[in-house]
Structures are given as C-alpha cells and as structure tokens.
C-alpha cells in the first residue's frame, strides 16, 4: 500500500506573437504559448522556472559556467554552492575519481545547447527526489535567449530520458513518493482560474465528464496513443488509419503528417479574413470509442483578424513517426492524466470556470467502420524538427523533441 504524497504546482502562461513565413512567401503572425512552473535544485535549494514538458525526458537548466547571453538572462545552477551535487556520466556509466568529462549536446531545429550531467536533490514544492539532470555550459541565442523561463522538466516515459535516473516521474514512482503513480495536467486559457500540474492524484474537480483510459501503444517514450480516425462535425473522414498521437504539454500547436494536415486544412477551409469563423465545423479525433472534439475557437489562431489553423505540418520519420502531436489547444479543452505504472493516458472534458462544458461524444464502432459515422451523445457531467541528443564520451545517440512551443 502506497503512503506517498500528492501535490500541485501552479503554472504560469506565457504568450508571444511570432512572425513566420507562409509557403506563399507572405508573413503571418502566430501565437506561441507555453506554461511553466517552479522547481528547486540543490542544497540549499536554488529555484528555477521550467516548462513541465510531457514531450521530453530530461531536466535541462542553465549552469553557472555558461556565459552565453541566453544563459546570463536566466537563473543558473551553481554546482559549487550545493553540498549535495555530484558529477555523473551522461550515459549512466560509473564516474572515475568523482569527476566526469562527459558532455551532452542537444541540437534543436533553430539552435543547440551543450551541458554536463549532474546528480542532486530535485524538489517540486516539498516533494523531493535525488536524480540526474543536465546543466548547460553553452546555449545558442536562438531559441534560448527568448525564453521567459529558465529550463525544461521532461515528464515523458523512461525511454525518452538518458536513463531512468534522469526521469523525475520514474524516480518518484520507484521511491514510492507519490500516493498514486500518476500526474495530471489542467490548462486554462483564461485568468479566471489557475493552471496546474498535479503529482500523485487525479483532481476530479477539473473534470466535466467521466474519464476514459487509452494505453500507450508504442515504445517511443512519448505519451503516445492510437487515433482511430479524424472527424468533421462528428463524421469520421477515413483519412487516418493507424495514426498515432503524442500528448505534449511542450507544444503550442496541433501538429501532424503533412499529407493529412493538408487535407484537413482544405476541408476546414478557414478564411484568412476570419469571415467564415462562425460557420466552421467541429474538428474531432476518434480515440477508442470517443470523439474528442475541438471547436473553431480551439483550433483557429486569430491574430489581428487574420485567421490561421493551429495545425502544423510535422513529418516525424519512422520508427517514431508518422505522428500527430496534441499540444496546448487540445490540452486546454481536455484534462489529461498520465499513469506511469500502467503506461496509459486518461482523457476527460476539462471543467473551466464560467463556461458551459463540452459534450463528450461516443461513436458506434461498427457504424464507424462502415463509414456512416453515427454518434451517440454522453452527458458532459457523467493536444519541427526532431533534434538529436548525443553523449560525447559514449557516442550514444537517442532521439527526443524540440520545443515547438517557443
């Protein structure tokens, strides 16, 4: 019987507007959004703001030995000021004579960071576990200088981390620090309520429907589940056989294979001048026996009366791809739970203050296969470039994700 604790961390929302070039050579404004909270590292504790990221596996924070502008504008970890800090090898091999010359280089689509691997006390509020993390010694200005937070806390499954000792959730579950081996994410798009990530507990007050569970289907390290199909106004389109999706708190948009994204954009036909915004259909994802619907306000980015679908083409190569990504627009609509022990993801309609909750749809599996798409309603009460990470001493290569959110 578990005797661990549960606790919540309030998340701060950051929205930035970025100009990007379209395929037609025009410039458009895109909203980039991220949610981040606080952690502390070392003895005595040194505080950092980090993105709680279900799409990556390691804790990355700036180190005091990094003098690049991107590091100097953020809190930096001072190894010599922590009485509990130890150097470790990034490939989990034993350190000789207490010092490691090992370094880890992470190359993102728009930049890179290099760091050394350390072990220390890592705390979320008063919930602490000793574990490994990466302290940067070099960071490129792009994209890190524009971050309004210091680093990234990876919450993906163990295979996404350098080793289980780099995975915060794995350590907490292994040491039985949590009342339940789960964490949950509630993201709000308004200032009327607090966004939060909760460890060790499912906060049912954030749920406006019953929750259903879906198993993680592949061993990529992502919280990845299978999509049965994509629906428009509750009618399955039969364009997404054997599709998979990663549920990713570190991504500001929805993303998917370019061929399917192209078809969806053509079908949705969102007018750039927003003239048909009120007539746009629901965009749904069929997962198991449910359709998780997004309204136009959820999947359309409106900037200065310039409307764009918040759906980005992302062609992840095999074996991790092809892959959809459920980023922040999806996660603001649906409350999600991540079960580390049973490797599954729970979904429920999120309950937001002052809003009428959406309806959680169910779909008849036989009729869906026949293409009829008949749906039954269930009462509401009852979701770039793949970077390369390498350890210089071991020449060990693993794959993770870049921060699309930033």
**H or E stretch including 168?**
helix 168-174
Q: Is 301 a catalytic residue?
A: no
Residue 196, C-beta contacts closer than 8 angstroms, at least 6 positions apart: 8, 9, 10, 11, 37, 185, 186, 203
| CA separation for the pair 349, 320 (Å, rounded) | 28
Q: Which of 120, 150, 234, 248 is catalytic?
A: 248
Backbone angles phi, psi at 169, to 5 degrees: -65, -40
CB distance 49 to 75 below 8 Å: yes
| CA separation for the pair 187, 12 (Å, rounded) | 10
Residue 262, Cβ neighbours under 10 Å: how many? 13
Q: Is 364 a catalytic residue?
A: no
Token pair 């578990």: residue: 2
Beta pairing partners, 377: 361
Q: Which of 53, 102, 120, 229 is catalytic?
A: 53
* Nearest CA-CA partner of 206 in 185, 192, 179, 176: 185
Residues in the chain: 406
| CA separation for the pair 387, 240 (Å, rounded) | 26
The tokens for 214 are 């879906």
Catalogue the active-site residues.
53, 248
């Amino acid at each position: 019987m578990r005797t661990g604790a549960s606790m919540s961390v309030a998340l701060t929302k950051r929205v930035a507007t970025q100009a990007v070039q379209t395929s037609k050579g025009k410039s458009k404004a895109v909203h980039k959004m991220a949610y981040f909270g606080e952690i502390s590292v070392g003895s005595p504790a040194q505080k950092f703001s980090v993105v709680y990221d279900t799409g990556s596996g390691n804790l990355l924070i700036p180190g005091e030995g990094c003098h690049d502008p991107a590091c100097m504008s953020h809190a930096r970890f001072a190894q010599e000021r922590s009485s509990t800090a130890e150097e470790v090898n990034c490939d989990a091999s034993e350190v000789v004579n207490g010092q490691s010359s090992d370094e880890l280089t992470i190359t993102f689509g728009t930049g890179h960071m290099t760091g050394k691997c350390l072990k220390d006390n890592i705390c979320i509020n008063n919930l602490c576990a000793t574990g490994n993390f990466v302290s940067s010694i070099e960071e490129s200005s792009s994209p890190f200088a524009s971050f309004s937070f210091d680093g990234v806390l990876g919450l993906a499954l163990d295979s996404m981390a350098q080793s289980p000792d780099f995975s915060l959730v794995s350590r907490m579950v292994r040491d039985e620090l949590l009342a339940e081996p789960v964490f949950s994410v509630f993201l709000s798009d308004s200032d009327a309520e607090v966004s939060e990530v909760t460890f060790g507990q499912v906060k049912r007050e954030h749920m406006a429907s019953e929750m259903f569970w879906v198993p993680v289907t592949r061993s990529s390290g992502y919280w990845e589940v299978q999509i049965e199909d994509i629906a428009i106004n509750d009618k399955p389109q039969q364009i997404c056989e054997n599709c998979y999706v990663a549920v990713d708190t570190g991504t500001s948009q929805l993303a998917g294979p370019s061929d399917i994204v192209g078809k969806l954009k053509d079908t949705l036909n969102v007018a750039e001048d927003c003239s048909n915004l009120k007539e746009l259909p629901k965009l749904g994802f069929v997962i198991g026996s449910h359709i998780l619907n997004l309204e136009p306000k959820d999947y359309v980015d409106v900037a200065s009366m310039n409307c764009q679908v918040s759906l980005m083409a992302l062609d992840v190569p095999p074996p991790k791809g092809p892959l959809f990504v459920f980023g922040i627009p999806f996660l603001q609509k649906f409350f999600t739970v991540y079960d580390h022990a049973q490797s599954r993801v729970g979904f429920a309609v999120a309950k937001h203050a002052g809003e009428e909750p959406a309806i959680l749809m169910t779909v008849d599996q036989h009729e869906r296969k026949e293409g009829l798409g008949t749906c039954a309603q269930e009462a509401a009460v009852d979701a770039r470039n793949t970077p390369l990470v390498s350890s210089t001493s071991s020449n060990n290569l693993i794959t993770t994700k870049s921060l699309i959110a930033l």
